[in-house]
Amino acid sequence: MAELAGAPDGALNIGSVCADRHVRLGRGAATAISWLGRRQERRDITYGELAEQSGRIARVLAGQGLEPGETVAVLLGRIPELYGAALGIWKAGGVYCPLFAAFGPGPIKARLELGKAAILITSDELYARKVASSRAALPHLRQVLLVGEDGAIAVLPQGCADLRALVAAAQPMEAVPTTPDAPAFLHFTSGTTGTPKGVLHPHRAVLAHLVTGRKVFGLTEADVFWCTADPGWVTSTSYGIIAPLVCGAALVADEAELEPRRWYGILHDEKVTAWYTTPTAIRTMMRYGAALARSYRENSLRVAASVGEPLNAEAVMWGQKALGVPFLDTWWQTETGAITIANGPGTDRRPGSMGRPLPGVEAVIMRCEAGTPKQVDGIDVVGELAIRTCWPSMFSGALGEETRYGDCFRDGWYFTGDLVKRDKDGFIWFVGRADDMIKCGGLQIGPFEVEGSLMDHPAVAEIGVVGKPDMLVREVPVAFVSLNPGFEAGDALRAELISYARQELGAGMAPREIHFVEELPKTNSGKIMRRVLKAKAMGEPDGGDILSTLPPCPGRYDDE
């Protein structure tokens, strides 16, 4: 895009266009990040400060011997250093690889190994609990840069350095002139399927973040944008860092986790104009009731959107009633790197649907005929969603999974693994993952359709539907339900829900069993772990060690 043109030799560096570019345009004094600490601390960081801080971090990384294309893993919460580190890594020509702080030592070690991380940036507390014990088994990890959790680090562990001290002594460095196709960020995805897979994206992905920031959220320099994603999730990289900064907006960074009253206060007090969150968070806020929402009804929201899992129509419209704007569902994957299908404002939305393809995205529905995928154009015909391989944020590789990477593509199309259908107006509706479909006799049952129907019952807060093996019809649908306050689990409610489902869906699609649970098992990004539910349905009391005992599904990637 013309906005990002002008770099010498066609270079494109995400760190530079997200910070230095705004300084060159005279916006150095504008707020880039409003950071809110978990103990009510607050710090506003300007674009000028962000440019300088990220330049200093780049200098530190270069001083540690970081070569272009090497991986720097970041294990931090939503603290100011997270944002400076991401931009600094890109400026130094490195590959930014965020990790979930909720992971234990084992998963973190596995990702550091697979990514061949040369440098790790983390807090002293997280290092002691989750990395120190495995450090000797990580030969690629040359250096660990620590951020003091509570200020200065009293005693540095052997083989570690104090990042804040090094940054304070460093001079800012100009961004390395990376090419658009140079690797920029690496996200590990495994979710419900087991073995982590590294999905790599290039610097040109920033073009898609700029376009979707403008088209989906309407972001300008006047906006305040809040993305609630965990730093380890690709949504945090794409929309919690890159998109708002490349668009010149001010982003809100809240260190604390979900607490509805705090979140309503942030929306109100920070005058958030664009909000991006998850169905899990929306349902949690819904459970706290309309009265709390109404007490914060006055806000500055212009647009609110959802990502991670399909959002049922009730939750979409709850946003309109509670906050004054409906939630707009968006669809994308770690592999697409940016939003590709979305609902828009006004008549350009359809509650309950994924939305329509964004400008520049060609999305079709494919069905396999005699072993060959063919495009289908019929209304409500179910098939696999495929996207023409021309969007700038398309993943450029799958670390250690080259064969799987190749299997995702055929004849110029990326096959997503999602089953969808299209209505007469061109809106696309999610049916289910290809490997989550329940084959019941002659029926193909999409879990989301069953879940969406039961979500309309006032007792249901969240629901996950899976297939349970059956000798007669191969599989039958089984539902796991968590309840809203005021409803009591028991045989009476179970019978009521099954009857309700039969009336809404018909006997063939309705769940044969309903199990009540306190909460559904989820990945770190909030997606329901259906394989754990399937194990429970099959009699494993705790779901078993399902992530290690079940083989991964061919061709499938999931967000963690």
Q: Position 131: which residue type? A: V
pLDDT digits (tens, 9 = 90+) for 247-262: 999 999 999 999 999 9
Check whether 212 has a pLDDT greater than 60: yes
What was the pLDDT predicted at 5?
60
For residue 504, with 0-12 CB atoms within 10 Å meaning exposed, 13-18 middle and 19 or more buried, which class applies? middle
Mean pLDDT of the 17-41 span: 96
Mean pLDDT of the 467-493 span: 89
| Residue burial 41-68, b: 16+ Cβ < 10 Å; e: rest | eeeebbbbbbbbbbbbbbbbbbebebee
**pLDDT bucket at 551, cuts 50 / 70 / 90:** very low
CA angle 49, 60, 250 (to 5 degrees): 25
How far is Cα 80 from Cα 207, in angstroms, rounded to an integer?
A: 24
pLDDT digits (tens, 9 = 90+) for 402-423: 666 677 888 889 999 888 999 9
Phi, psi of 163 (to 5 degrees): -60, -45
**pLDDT bucket at 315, cuts 50 / 70 / 90:** confident
| Residue burial 253-291, b: 16+ Cβ < 10 Å; e: rest | bbeeeeebeebbebbbebebbbbbbbbbbbbbbbeeeee
Under DSSP, the state recorded for 383 is: E
**pLDDT bucket at 553, cuts 50 / 70 / 90:** very low
**Residue that wins the pLDDT comparison between 302 and 432:** 302
How far is Cα 144 from Cα 61, in angstroms, rounded to an integer?
A: 11
Tokens of 184: 């920029």
Q: Position 210: which residue type? A: L
**Total Cβ atoms within 10 A of residue 77:** 19
What was the pLDDT predicted at 441?
62
Residue that has been written with the tokens 């990702």 in this structure: 111
Mean pLDDT of the 119-137 span: 95
pLDDT digits (tens, 9 = 90+) for 363-389: 999 988 777 888 998 899 989 999 999
How far is Cα 67 from Cα 70, in angstroms, rounded to an integer?
A: 6
**Considering just the CA atoms, what is the radius of gyration of the chain in Å?**
23
Check whether 156 has a pLDDT greater than 70: yes
**Total Cβ atoms within 10 A of residue 381:** 12
Cα 298–chain centre separation: 28
112 CB-near residues (< 8 Å, 6+ apart): 73, 99, 120, 131, 134, 138, 140, 141
What was the pLDDT predicted at 530?
82
Mean pLDDT of the 490-512 span: 89
Check whether 190 has a pLDDT greater than 70: no
Check whether 549 has a pLDDT greater than 50: no
Going across the sheet that includes 31-36, the strands are 42-46, 31-36, 250-254, 224-227, 274-277, 303-306, 327-331, 341-342, 356-357
Cross-strand bridge partners of residue 36:
42, 254
What was the pLDDT predicted at 403?
67
pLDDT digits (tens, 9 = 90+) for 321-366: 888 899 999 999 989 999 999 998 777 889 889 999 998 899 999 9
Check whether 50 has a pLDDT greater than 80: yes
pLDDT digits (tens, 9 = 90+) for 264-314: 999 999 999 999 999 888 988 888 877 787 777 788 999 999 998 888 888
pLDDT digits (tens, 9 = 90+) for 79-88: 999 999 999 9
Tokens of 258: 């979900």
Q: What is the mean pLDDT of the chain?
A: 88
What was the pLDDT predicted at 56?
98
What was the pLDDT predicted at 2?
63
DSSP, collapsed to helix, strand or coil, labels residue 544 as: coil
How far is Cα 560 from Cα 186, in angstroms, rounded to an integer?
A: 13
How far is Cα 225 from Cα 126, in angstroms, rounded to an integer?
A: 28
Residues for the chain: how many in total?
560
Cross-strand bridge partners of residue 464:
480
DSSP states along 462-522? EEEEEEEEETTTEEEEEEEEEE-TT---SHHHHHHHHHHHHHHH-TTTS-SEEEE-SS--B
387 and 361 in contact (C-beta within 8 Å)?
A: yes
User: Quick one: what percent of the chain has pLDDT higher than 90?
Assistant: 61
506 CB-near residues (< 8 Å, 6+ apart): none
Residue that has been written with the tokens 């944020």 in this structure: 393
306 and 282 in contact (C-beta within 8 Å)?
A: yes
What was the pLDDT predicted at 312?
83
CA angle 309, 314, 320 (to 5 degrees): 105
For residues 419, 423, 428, 433, the Cα torsion angle rounded to the nearest 10 degrees is -20
DSSP, collapsed to helix, strand or coil, labels residue 415 as: strand
Domains of the chain listed by start with CATH number: 436-538 (3.30.300.30)
CA dist 342 → 25, 127, 338, 356 (Å): 31, 39, 11, 6
Residue that has been written with the tokens 């100009």 in this structure: 174
Q: Position 79: which residue type? A: I
Check whether 30 has a pLDDT greater than 80: yes
Tokens of 329: 């569902």
How far is Cα 501 from Cα 401, in angstroms, rounded to an integer?
A: 41
Check whether 15 has a pLDDT greater than 90: yes
Q: Which residue from 234, 236, 228, 240 is spatially nearest to 189, judged by alpha carbons?
A: 234
**pLDDT bucket at 191, cuts 50 / 70 / 90:** very low
Check whether 110 has a pLDDT greater than 70: yes
